[in-house]
Amino acid sequence: TTPGDHVKDIANICAIHEINEMQVAVKLLAYSFKGKSLQWFRSLALQALTKIGT
């Protein structure tokens, strides 16, 4: 994958959840203080797959 692919992935996940990149950045920052940013972002992707499947 390329960096451009990752940007598209993030944009797609944001569109599915009806959030914007700034909201994602704020959540990642907040969760990074708790050491859970990666877990949160992974759960967002899994939730996106669930939404697509329904």
For 16, counting Cβ atoms within 10 Å of its Cβ (0-12 exposed, 13-18 middle, 19+ buried), the class is middle
Give the number of other Cβ atoms within 10 Å of residue 31's Cβ.
15
Q: Locate the DSSP E strands across the chain.
A: none
Tens digit of each residue's pLDDT (9 = 90 or more) over 1-54? 676 776 678 788 888 888 888 888 888 777 777 777 677 777 877 787 777 665
On whether the pTM is more than 0.85, the answer is no
Query: For the chain, what are the domain ranges?
Result: 3-53
Give the number of other Cβ atoms within 10 Å of residue 40's Cβ.
15
Q: What is the pLDDT of residue 6?
A: 67
